[in-house]
Amino acid sequence: MSTVRRLVVIVLFEGVDLLDVTGPPEVFSLVRRETEEATGYQVVLAAEAMGPVTTSAGVRVLPDLTFEEAAARSIDTLLVPGAVEVDSLRRVHPLTDPTVVRWVKVLAAGSRRVASVCVGAHILAAAGLLDGKRATTHWSTARQLASDYPAIEVDADPIFIREGDVWTGAGISACLDLSLALVAEDFGETVALRVARQLVMYLKRPGGQSQFSVPLEPVSTTRRIEDLRHHIARSLEQPLTVADLAVFAHVSERQLTRIFKTELGMTPSAYVESARVERARNQLESTDATLERVASTCGFGTTDTLVRAFRRRLDTTPTEYRLRFRAHSG
């Protein structure tokens, strides 16, 4: 049985965003649970000195070793979180402490790969690690990153970007998506999907530009729309036309459409299609049902309609989705 564990070093410094530091270890810790062998990651926190580091949330974190000690280790993944300060006009400015930048450059030279979380991309940029590369960061600082470092092709849209052995992630909670992508690279899509399920997350496509699932359902403020949502979920194999839903809700079709747009930001038909795609997605991941069967039980009627809905909402086909995200047992 293999016991090799990949060393992940997370950089600590004053004011660092707490979730950037704690989010990735939560993802990495689940790998051992979801694999048969005792493989996975060893995560350590490194700082300039061994004293407590106060994060942006006010929570103090203790490092496991100093930057100097980390530099003597064989690092698999160097993870660089970010930090910001907000001025009197509520403008956000990323922090790039020269000492941290200098150590990141040193540590990166001895690492198999380097990844930044959120505005940590500014630290990688200051260390010269993003020159000539495409990179992303939190949307609020993307323009500044592009202005300060014209040698970088900044793209604020993706959740994460991989450029060879350098990865950059977008805004704060995207650290989980980036970490899942790293897991997928190291241990495969099946393990990453299992970890995502444990975290009650959706697994993102490579490149992170969109989710392979419909958006999480918005929370409604009215009992009527909640009843409609539950009715739709129970009746996806039925026609569920606007007229059918209006009768169920005891309102006119025009009023029903207005309710959906106000409460959920979409038309009744769009919501029904989203719900059907979500159920189809789950069936493709977890069953061997044929496309004809999936189309029937999810209310699409024909496989052509199912394929068109997947292309429209997920930019893929049901077959391609199943090949990439089907969870195999054992």
Nearest of 175, 174, 204 to residue 192 by alpha carbon: 204
**Domain boundaries along the sequence of the chain:** 5-198, 223-325
- Tokens 């490194």 belong to 46
Q: How would residue 325 be classed by pLDDT, with cut points 50, 70 and 90?
A: low
Distance, in Å, from the CA atom of 175 to the CA atom of 160, rounded to the nearest integer, reads: 9
Question: In angstroms, how far is the first alpha carbon of the chain from the final one?
Answer: 16
Choice among 80, 107, 118, 142 that is catalytic: 118
- What superfamily in CATH does domain 223-325 come from? Homeodomain-like (1.10.10.60)
CA dist 64 and 51 (Å) reads 10
- The pLDDT tens digits for 137-171 are 998 899 899 999 999 999 887 788 899 999 999 87
pTM for the whole thing? 0.65
List the CATH code of the domain at 5-198. 3.40.50.880
Query: How sure is the predictor about 217, in pLDDT bands with cuts at 50, 70 and 90?
Result: very low
Tell me which amino acid residue 16 is.
Answer: V
Q: What is the pLDDT of residues 267-280, one digit of tens each?
A: 999 999 999 998 99
Our answer to whether residue 298 is catalytic in this structure is no
Residue in 156, 148, 101 with CA at minimum distance from that of residue 129: 101
Kindly give, in sequence order, each residue whose CB lies less than 8 Å from that of residue 89, ignoring residues fewer than 6 positions away.
none
Burial pattern 73-85, b for ≥16 Cβ within 10 A else e, equals bebbbbbbbbbbe
